[in-house]
Structure 1
Amino acid sequence: MKKQYGLIGYPVKHSKSALMHNAAFKALGIDAEYKLLEVKPHELKKFFGEFRKNLSGVNITIPHKVASIQYLSSVSKEVEYIGAVNTVVMEKNKLIGHNTDVLGFLESLKEDLGFDAKRIKETKAIVFGAGGAGHAVAFGLRLQGAKRIVLVDKDSGKAALLTNELSKISGIEVFDIPWDDAEAIKATVCDSTLLINATNCGMDKKDKVLLPYEFLHDGLAIFDLIYNRETSLIEEARRRSLKFVNGLNMLINQGAMAFKLWTGKDAPIDIMRKAISE
């Protein structure tokens, strides 16, 4: 019987995860299928209630990475630490939550932007977005000993909550600033070496810009987790000759780890990359 996997989120139509995982299943001769599953926030409880009947595992994306935890049987230490889940595996009829976003992010940060462990310790980062992706990014930077992390979110409560969690760990400067405080954002960006967009701002061409681009400066690297299109933030970084990367390699990295959790097999990364690059 063909095993069923998928991605849950809202929206998910932009995602390339199905292309990537189905190519991997085919390459390794695994009888499985991966689908995009649009689940609205009010449908989440029902979805997990029916999970065991239909699925062997899922990936989780915006806006469900935090809310999904309450419906799982247990979670990994990474999920406990981060407070967000992006991969669920069904083991002996129990739903086990994992987070592969952190390592996926850190690998891309190193490979694509040159932020190795030593450089991260000197990094002053500003992170836009304190949801599930923002949690993974912020804790990833914390695990590597970043010098400073500043959080910005439209929901000030989310930003304050994540700031509080990060502040429990000594040896790091962390604070949050209001989304609409342009002066504070300008001052922080000007004193930062890494800017990360962990929101869905830019996913749609009609979206407003994340911040005034005159705040950007030489010496600032840009990591935009959006990968379905080239955002105006990436376009501006290119125009200014800043170092930048989108979320495509992070997607591949975390997807490969999820694939191994589901199948026990090493993912054919080159095939996965080719599938979403065509």
Structure 2
Amino acid sequence: MPAHLQVWGDPIAHSRSPQLHAAAYAALGLDWTYDRRQVDEASFVTALAGLDESYRGLSLTMPLKGVAHAAARTRDRRAALTGAVNTLLLSADGPHGFNTDVGGIVRDLGEQGVSAVSEARIVGAGATATSALVALGELGAEGVLVSARRPEAAEPLVGLGERLGMRVRVEPLGTPSAGELELTVSTLPGGAAIAPQDADALAASGGLLYDVVYGHWPTALAEAWERAGGRAVAGSGMLLQQALLQVRIFVQGDAETALPGEDDVLQAMRDAADAARMGD
């Protein structure tokens, strides 16, 4: 039976989700549609209530992850921990909320050769930093250093770390590390300005820079890592992997069960992402 899906956000014209999802459903032989809709926080509840039964699910991007969390009838563990829902599975008994950003980070870091980590750093203290912290917890991190422009904004991450059994310390952005780190996850927006001396101080600790952006590349931090002779990776793989988990949810109802022929589905999505980048 045909079904409709959409990605909502404000702004939304930049989203590559339609290309990724369309490729997945074509590979699965499903006659489903997936498109964009600009929705802001103020209109979210009304827009959600206005959907008819042909709609199977929604992907949510900024600034809707908090209001989607509030609207969800149930939430998976990752959504409950982060307070952010980026996926709603629509059903007769109400919307069910999921956070696939966490799994997207974990899966893509695995593709980058990082399957476990002990000590790591997060740059930034916004909503994406919360997902990054939960992802690091799933990778076994015992200690996480949070570098933030406003250290007070990172206090909720300290509390979340305690719930996850992790030591979380907060420092001003650009503070030199006392030692080598295995991994730095940057959650700063792609176009965020950062003073060169602050970027260089962060890069001096070494390790992999995983920059959770898929535009504005290279970022100021990625350039600093290059100057320091380090390795920097963009977050385009995270976008792909979290979208795959969304497809699992929309097709099967959960994020943990692999799709039939999932390797072929993922390759179709990867090809679509490559084609979209070539068209930029």
* Band of TM-score, shorter chain: 0.7 to 0.9
Aligned to 2:164: 169
3-state SS of paired residue (1:34): strand
1:242 paired residue among 223, 230, 244: 230
- TM score, norm. by length of structure 1: 0.83
Contact 2:147-2:175 within 8 A present in 1 as well: no
Contact 1:52-1:90 within 8 A present in 2 as well: no
Cα RMSD over matched residues? 2.5
3-state SS of paired residue (1:70): helix
Question: Residue 191 and residue 125 in structure 1: after superposition, are their counterparts in 2 closer, same or farther (change >3 A)?
Answer: same
Once the two structures are TM-superposed, the CA of residue 51 in structure 1 deviates from its matched residue by 3.8
Moved over 6 A (4+): none
Cα distance per residue 1:21-75 (max 9 Å; x no partner): 1122223221111112222222222232324556311112222223321111111
Contact 1:52-1:93 within 8 A present in 2 as well: no
3-state SS of paired residue (1:35): strand
Question: Residue 116 and residue 29 in structure 1: after superposition, are their counterparts in 2 closer, same or farther (change >3 A)?
Answer: closer
Question: Residue 52 and residue 155 in structure 1: after superposition, are their counterparts in 2 closer, same or farther (change >3 A)?
Answer: farther
2:245 corresponds to which letter in structure 1?
M
Once the two structures are TM-superposed, the CA of residue 128 in structure 1 deviates from its matched residue by 1.5
Question: Residue 68 and residue 154 in structure 1: after superposition, are their counterparts in 2 closer, same or farther (change >3 A)?
Answer: farther
Q: Distance in 1 between matches of 2:83 and 2:177?
A: 26
Aligned to 1:106: 106
Cα distance per residue 1:167-205 (max 9 Å; x no partner): 2333x211333xxx45xx3234865432222232x2x4x
Is the counterpart of residue 272 in structure 1 residue 278 in structure 2?
A: no
**1:62-211 equivalences in 2 (<5 Å):** 62-112=62-112, 114-117=113-116, 120-121=117-118, 123-131=119-127, 133-153=128-148, 158-170=153-165, 172-177=166-171, 181-182=172-173, 185-188=174-177, 192-200=181-189, 202=190, 204=191, 207-209=192-194
Is the counterpart of residue 222 in structure 1 residue 212 in structure 2?
A: no
Total equivalences in the alignment: 263
- TM score, norm. by length of structure 2: 0.83
Q: Distance in 1 between matches of 2:245 and 2:122?
A: 27
Is the counterpart of residue 260 in structure 1 residue 259 in structure 2?
A: no
Contact 1:129-1:197 within 8 A present in 2 as well: no
Gaps of 5+ in 2: 253-258, 276-280
3-state SS of paired residue (1:66): helix
Contact 1:88-1:95 within 8 A present in 2 as well: yes
Gaps of 5+ in 1: none
Q: Distance in 2 between matches of 1:145 and 1:110?
A: 13
Question: Residue 259 and residue 193 in structure 1: after superposition, are their counterparts in 2 closer, same or farther (change >3 A)?
Answer: same
Q: Distance in 2 between matches of 1:75 and 1:221?
A: 32
Percent identity of equivalent pairs: 22
